[in-house]
A and B are shown apart, each in its own frame.
Chain A
């Protein structure tokens, strides 16, 4: 990789978190952060850099190998950079949508959503088990198309760095043209919400266009206060529980389930159950829509 955007950005992350803390304090909004929640987020972030360092070499080697199989070699032409970034962002969208719709990938991604707070420290709750979950397969097609492995990794890093600043309540709305094209704090607040209307929406990395294109976009409604986190809130600041709880839950469900349902607990949507005792995001939204109708009598 020519350079590692994430490593370069870490000091900037620290400065921006400090700035957000001071800004919130000046506004008297001392519910915006909670020190133990921040500790959990940052510890998970630190752990994810260790996991990344341990497995990054394998991912890079896989990309290099696939690149040699490609009939094309795009090389380092200047125009390849924006093209690679946009296609990598599309790959991220597919990954991220799968991460919410397939429990196997969700088990690795869920820790990013486990905070009930939404601030810049939340952005650093990154997965430890992404490599184990094989999340890297989503980026492999880019190497097969013929993009340079180093370019793919830089674009992936830039994408991750971009996503840092959108984890804040400090920015209400960006200019309309920006909100139309780019992922923004407003769009990503929706993604972290547990309000039924917002579940499984706005999977974008850097560009919101994919959600608009594929029908998964929801705008933020300022009249409905957002509650953050996951449907079954953890209720603990334990780092290891936050990182591994869904893997443990999958193992428990598969152990208990009848044989013909075991794989479904791994591969179907989070919340699916063979006896209908739980709810997926879609079921939660349907139930909510029914109660809305009852309440407003239509």
Chain B
């Protein structure tokens, strides 16, 4: 084996070891949104801007949904211990099922928001039981 191959394999081993150590030391938490204020701050960072008019936070802070002044809907979705904001295309069906929101194109968004779930549903009323 050439010197460069040895160097590469050594670096590869170090990478694997460091990632394993990071995992074992407990750096594998999921993101939590602590408050409506924090959610608002994150929504405002959306590309193109998004000024939330109303926000609903998942019970455990694992996601959030917001509506702006002109009726656009955006989500905060967990990405590791952080969040990414994603705006939903107009007319995306949102179903409310037992206090939970189901948004088909974004299965990662699991929003348990309780009694208010019905307020966020966009499919017809019969299909919703929020």
Contact = CB atoms under 8 A, between A and B. Distances in A.
User: From DSSP, what is the main secondary structure of chain B's interface residues?
Assistant: mixed
Interface residues of A, number: 46
Nearest to A194: B45
A69 to B, nearest CB: 31
B18 A14 contact: yes
Contact of A279 (B4, B11, B41, B47): B47
Interface stretch (B25-33, B63-71, B112-120): B25-33
A181 B42 CA distance: 33
A195 B51 CA distance: 15
A14 B19 CA distance: 11
Interface in B1-38: 4, 7-8, 11-12, 14-15, 18-19, 21-23, 25-29, 31
Among A38, A121, A227, the most chain B Cβ lie within 10 Å of the Cβ of: A38
Report the interface size class on chain B.
20 to 34
Nearest to A17: B18
A35 B27 contact: yes
Interface in B80-106: 80-82, 84-86
B17 to A, nearest CB: 8
Interface string A21-33: 1101100001111
21 contacts: A7-B7, A10-B14, A17-B18, A21-B27, A25-B25, A25-B26, A25-B27, A38-B18, A38-B19, A43-B15, A46-B15, A53-B4, A116-B79, A116-B80, A117-B81, A121-B18, A227-B41, A233-B85, A278-B48, A279-B47, A284-B49
Interface of A: 7, 10, 14, 17-18, 21-22, 24-25, 30-39, 42-43, 45-46, 49-50, 53, 116-117, 121, 194-195, 225, 227, 229, 231-237, 278-279, 284, 287, 291
A-B pairs, top 5 by smallest CB distance, nearest first, are A33-B27, A116-B82, A34-B80, A235-B84, A35-B23
Interface of B: 4, 7-8, 11-12, 14-15, 18-19, 21-23, 25-29, 31, 41-42, 45, 47-49, 51, 77, 79-82, 84-86
